[in-house]
């Protein structure tokens, strides 16, 4: 008898892998080999935190405890406490990550899955994640790992140099720090990115953008592209839906732009939460006013997952209305995601309005770029195309 899967699991696999099998793209999870048995709580060797730990460079010691300075959560920890992101602990008055060289997921993905539509199209990206996240989004599609500690997930041993070697041997042009939240495994991301840069491999940050400016600027030196999830344009919504705040994400966008990192933005449109068209207009106006009119903006359809399973899918007409608002605001490259078959995945020349890149799922069907410009009218299309 065949095994039936739940509606929740169907959409989890659908959102994570739509198009991969149909298009014949190699995408696999390395948990099948060399895994560390984490079915029981992690028990480090006596007197140390084990080989999957490393001292963090971003903390200060205060009278109340050790204060992490990686993200705006600013956790103050004493020994025996876990950080909000579940990946940092204190030992001997020092802050350590326990998410270093022990990813719970490693896959080869099409870069369009990130989504990055204006960066090395049709290339493959070696994608890694450890458990942990500094948010607690009620809509998270990867909550099984993002809302978990590396102590309790099934992990593989893959240190930074090994990640780079795997990426090279797999023919990938980039490494994506993704799936859960790379800010939670910052030290692992940073060291891997530094080695990757020295080997000619690009680095992609797929993130919620909730990070303090100093560690962001230090990391941006090694970043080539990023997709930042701008979850809403409301402080109240960020607090209630995600457990964070808006302003640090806006600062992240500005810093990445300043540092020359290729940037794309995703906005998940959730019924009853982030589908307020007035708020979407306000967000788009802010983006244009702050110099992001050429930055690709992806409006993504919500699927009922995690703690929001009672909500409906985002109606297509709402996504199309958001697209229209963004276009009228002055944003030039707007996409609709998680809607198979929509023409909203295509790149349209802002001048002659012809299709420059025609997409279906993660495949490019037609490429009308010539020397990074529309071949019909010669308009330069911003991006990293080769």
Cα–Cα distance for residue pair 313/15, rounded to 1 Å? 12
Closest by CA to 359, choosing from 28, 129, 110, is: 110
User: How would residue 341 be classed by pLDDT, with cut points 50, 70 and 90?
Assistant: confident
What pLDDT digit, counting tens, does each position of 40-78 carry? 444 444 346 889 999 999 999 999 999 999 999 999 999
Cα–Cα distance for residue pair 375/368, rounded to 1 Å? 6
What pLDDT digit, counting tens, does each position of 83-108 carry? 999 999 999 999 999 999 999 999 99
Q: Omega into 302 within 30° of 0, i.e. cis?
A: no
User: Would you state the pLDDT for residue 312?
Assistant: 97
What pLDDT digit, counting tens, does each position of 347-386 carry? 999 999 999 999 999 999 999 999 999 999 999 999 999 9
What structural domains does the chain harbor? 7-34+101-345 (3.20.20.70)
Cα–Cα distance for residue pair 78/91, rounded to 1 Å? 8
Q: Is the pLDDT of residue 263 over 50?
A: yes
* CB-side neighbour CA atoms (13 Å) of 136: 10
User: Would you state the pLDDT for residue 123?
Assistant: 98
3-state secondary structure of 367: strand
Closest by CA to 331, choosing from 372, 281, 369, is: 281
At residue 128, what are phi and psi to the nearest 5 degrees? -130, 155
Given a contact cutoff of 8 angstroms between Cβ atoms, the answer to whether 331 and 337 are in contact is: no
CB-count exposure of residue 4 (10 Å: 0-12, 13-18, 19+): exposed
Cα–Cα distance for residue pair 368/364, rounded to 1 Å? 11
Report the run of H or E that residue 253 belongs to, with start and end.
helix 247-258
User: Would you state the pLDDT for residue 48?
Assistant: 64
Which residues, 6+ apart, have CB-to-CB distance to 64 below 8 Å?
A: 76
Given a contact cutoff of 8 angstroms between Cβ atoms, the answer to whether 71 and 249 are in contact is: no
Quick one: tokens of 231?
């979850």
Report the run of H or E that residue 76 belongs to, with start and end.
strand 76-77
């Amino acid at each position: 008898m065949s095994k039936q899967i739940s509606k929740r699991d169907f959409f989890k696999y659908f959102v994570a892998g739509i198009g991969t099998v149909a298009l014949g793209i190699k995408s696999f999870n390395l948990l099948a080999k060399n895994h560390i048995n984490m079915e029981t709580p992690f028990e480090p060797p006596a007197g140390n935190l084990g080989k999957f730990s490393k001292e963090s460079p971003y903390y200060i010691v205060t009278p109340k405890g050790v204060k992490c300075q990686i993200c705006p959560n600013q956790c103050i920890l004493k020994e025996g406490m876990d950080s909000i992101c579940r990946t940092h602990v204190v030992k001997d008055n020092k802050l350590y990550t326990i998410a270093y060289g022990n990813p719970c997921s490693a896959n080869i993905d099409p870069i369009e899955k990130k989504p990055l539509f204006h960066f090395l199209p049709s290339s493959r990206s070696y994608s890694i994640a450890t458990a942990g996240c500094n948010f607690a989004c009620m809509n998270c599609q990867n909550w099984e790992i993002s809302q978990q500690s590396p102590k309790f997930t099934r992990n593989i041993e893959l240190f930074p140099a090994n990640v780079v070697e795997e990426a090279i041997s797999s023919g990938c042009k980039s490494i994506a720090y993704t799936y859960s939240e790379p800010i939670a495994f910052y030290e692992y991301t940073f060291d891997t990115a530094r080695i990757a840069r020295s080997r000619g491999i690009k680095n992609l940050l797929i993130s919620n953008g909730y990070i303090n400016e100093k560690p962001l600027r230090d990391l941006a030196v090694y970043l080539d592209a990023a997709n930042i999830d701008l979850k809403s344009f409301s402080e109240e919504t960020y607090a209630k839906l995600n457990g964070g705040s808006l302003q640090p994400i806006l600062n992240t966008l500005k810093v990445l732009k300043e540092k020359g990192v290729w940037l794309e933005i995703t906005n998940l449109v959730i019924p009853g939460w982030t589908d307020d068209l007035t708020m979407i207009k306000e967000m788009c106006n802010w983006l244009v006013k702050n110099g992001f009119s050429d930055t690709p903006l992806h409006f993504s359809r919500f699927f009922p997952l995690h703690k929001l399973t009672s909500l409906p899918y985002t109606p297509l007409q709402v996504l199309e209305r958001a697209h229209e608002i963004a276009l009228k605001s002055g944003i030039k490259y707007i996409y609709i995601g998680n809607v198979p078959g929509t023409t909203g995945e295509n790149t349209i020349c802002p001048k002659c309005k012809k299709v420059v890149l025609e997409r279906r799922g993660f495949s490019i069907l037609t490429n009308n770029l010539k020397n990074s410009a529309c071949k019909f009218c010669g308009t330069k299309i911003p991006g990293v195309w080769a």
